[in-house]
C-alpha cells in the first residue's frame, strides 16, 4: 500500500464528462445521464484498499441518506487490473452487490476519468453543485483504519450546505489513502 494525499483540484472546476461501463447494471453511463440538479458526488474507490474498506459501510449509509435528498453518488475504480485483478469489473460488481452500493460503480479501464479529475488516491471525493462546479474535494472524514467508526462528517457537511442552497465551507482537507494504481 502506497499512502497518498489527494490533489485538491481547484474549487469551481467544471466536472469533466465521462462515459464508463457500470459494473452493476452492465450499461455504459455518462455524467450527463447521472448528474443531479442538487449535488453530484464522484468517489474514486477500489475493492482492495484498506482505506476504502474502512469507509464502505458508512459510505453506503451516507449515500442512502443524501440520495433521498436529491444528491447523486457515483463511484469509479481506475486501478490497473493487470496488477490488481481484484479491482477488475467482475469483482467490482460482486463487491457492489455484497455491500449494497446504492450507486453505480463505474470501471475506468483507460484511467482517463481519474486523470481528468486529477484523482490521486482511494478514496478520493469530488462534490459538484447543480451546475457541475466543484464545491468540495477531499476526505470522507478525519478517521483512518483503526481510528474509530467513520461518519462521513466532512462530506456530509458539504452536502448539507448544497442541499440547503448555501455555500460550502472552503476549509477542506485532502483525502488520504492508497495511490491509484497507474498503468
Please state, in angstroms and rounded to a whole number, the distance separating the CA atoms of residues 64 and 2: 30
Q: What is the pTM of this model?
A: 0.97
The upper half-sphere exposure of residue 70, i.e. CA atoms within 13 Å in the direction of its Cβ, equals 13
**Complete domains list, the chain, with CATH:** 3-179 (3.40.30.10)
Structure confidence by residue, pLDDT tens digits, 20-50: 999 999 999 999 999 999 999 999 999 999 9
Structure confidence by residue, pLDDT tens digits, 62-110: 999 999 999 999 999 999 999 999 999 999 999 999 999 999 999 999 9
Alpha-carbon dihedral of residues 110, 112, 113, 114, nearest 10 degrees? 90
∠113-168-163 over CA atoms, to 5°?
85
Amino acid at each position: 500500500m502506497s499512502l497518498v494525499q489527494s490533489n485538491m483540484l481547484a474549487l469551481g472546476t467544471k466536472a469533466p464528462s465521462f462515459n464508463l461501463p457500470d459494473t452493476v447494471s452492465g450499461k455504459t453511463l455518462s455524467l450527463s445521464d447521472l448528474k443531479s440538479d442538487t449535488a453530484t458526488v464522484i468517489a474514486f474507490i477500489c475493492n482492495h484498499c484498506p482505506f476504502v474498506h474502512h469507509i464502505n459501510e458508512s459510505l453506503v449509509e451516507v449515500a442512502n441518506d443524501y440520495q433521498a435528498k436529491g444528491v447523486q453518488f457515483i463511484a469509479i475504480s481506475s486501478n490497473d487490473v493487470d496488477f490488481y485483478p481484484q479491482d477488475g469489473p467482475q469483482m467490482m460488481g460482486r463487491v457492489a452487490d455484497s455491500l449494497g452500493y446504492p450507486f453505480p460503480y463505474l470501471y475506468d479501464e483507460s484511467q482517463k476519468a481519474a486523470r481528468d479529475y486529477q484523482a490521486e488516491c482511494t478514496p478520493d471525493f469530488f462534490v459538484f453543485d447543480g451546475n457541475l462546479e466543484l464545491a468540495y474535494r477531499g476526505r470522507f472524514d478525519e478517521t483512518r483504519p483503526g481510528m474509530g467508526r467513520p461518519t462521513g462528517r466532512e462530506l456530509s457537511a458539504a452536502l448539507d450546505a448544497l442541499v440547503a442552497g448555501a455555500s460550502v465551507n472552503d476549509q477542506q482537507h485532502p483525502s488520504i489513502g492508497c495511490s491509484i494504481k497507474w498503468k
